[in-house]
Amino acid sequence: MKFGLYAINYGTCADPDSLVRVAQHAEAAGLASLWAGEHIVLPSPQPPDYAIAPEIPFLDAVVALALAAANTTSITVGTGILELPLHQPVLLAKQLASVDQIARGRLVVGVGVGYLALEFAALGVPLDERATRTDEHLEAMRALWTMDAPEYHGQHVDFAGVDAHPRPVQPAVPIVVGGHTAAAYRRAVARGDGWYGFAMTPEIAAASVDGLRKAADEVDRPTALGDLELTITPRGRLTAESAAGFAELGVDRLVIIPNPKDDDVRPSIDGALAAIAG
């Protein structure tokens, strides 16, 4: 099982110098990946049932990964996750291809449908179109990355007679699909190289693994995608016991999340690795 670090772009790590220090420390410590979350805007004032304050600094995920990639050499950089229907997919495909170039082929793209109604309204995207937009945006981006003469014709995205270079370094940029619903499980099985679950205990993760198995019985998985990789950000402090529980479920990657308000999150990286080692 591989280990990664979440929240490389917000809280303390929204400071560019801190981001670089943490990214380089994570790489030197042996972590395999860095992940940037996304909210473009947040509800303000903060609703009582919502965990993220609108004042928290939140660097753009793509910009943050470009900075992390430029200052590391081997660690994977990933979006965990982009709210895909809120993006213009032709532009996003260009931005992500550019990050993969900077990273020399170390990019993983995590995507989801999003959920904040106020955020969708602020960006002028109908919330009830988020599923269809997500599917089309994925197909359109892959067309731009892989087709000799890219074209795509859908309800929300339509283009032909265009091209964009440089392409990503990777022949197929890995796509990880986030979400804890039956629809998300089906999308991951049918369209993703992997699935991402956030804030999970081994018990909660077990239910999602069952959901993914059921989805595999309902939708076809392209042979070219291979086995579905499982990525999880654990809920609470990671211990050797909880890490073993995730491993028993077949989880491939655990992405630890530090307290984004800590003045320096590097000690939490070392602490998590020590806890895992027992």
Residues 6+ apart with CB under 8 A from 14: 56, 57, 58, 59
Question: Which stretches of the chain drop beneath a pLDDT of 70?
Answer: none
pLDDT at 261: 83
pLDDT at 28: 97
Predicted pLDDT of residue 277: 82
Within a 10 A sphere around the Cβ of 151, how many other Cβ atoms? Answer: 14
pLDDT of 73 = 98
**% of the chain residues with pLDDT over 90:** 94
For the chain, which domains are there? 2-277 (3.20.20.30)
CA dist 197 and 208 (Å) reads 8
Q: What is the pLDDT of residue 260?
A: 82
Q: Are 34 and 23 in contact (CB under 8 A)?
A: yes
Cis peptide before 45 (omega within 30 of 0): yes
DSSP state for residue 15 in the 8-state scheme = S
What does the alpha-carbon distance between residue 186 and residue 168 come to, in Å, rounded to a whole number?
26
Q: Give strand pairing partners of 76.
A: 33
Per the CB < 8 A criterion, the answer to whether 215 and 186 are in contact is yes
How high is the pLDDT of residue 199? Answer: 95
176 beta partners: 110, 194
Phi-psi region of 58 (alpha: psi -120 to 50; beta: other; left: phi over 0): beta
Residue owning tokens 């809920």: 235
Residues in the chain: 278
Task: Copy the structure tokens of residue 25.
Answer: 């420390």
**β-pair partners for 177:** 111, 195
Which among 170, 250, 165 has a CA at the least distance from the CA of 205?
Answer: 250
Q: What tens digit of pLDDT does each residue of 53-78 get?
A: 999 999 999 999 999 999 999 999 99
H-only helix segments in 55-179: 61-70, 89-103, 117-122, 130-146
Please tell me the predicted confidence (pLDDT) of residue 237.
Answer: 87
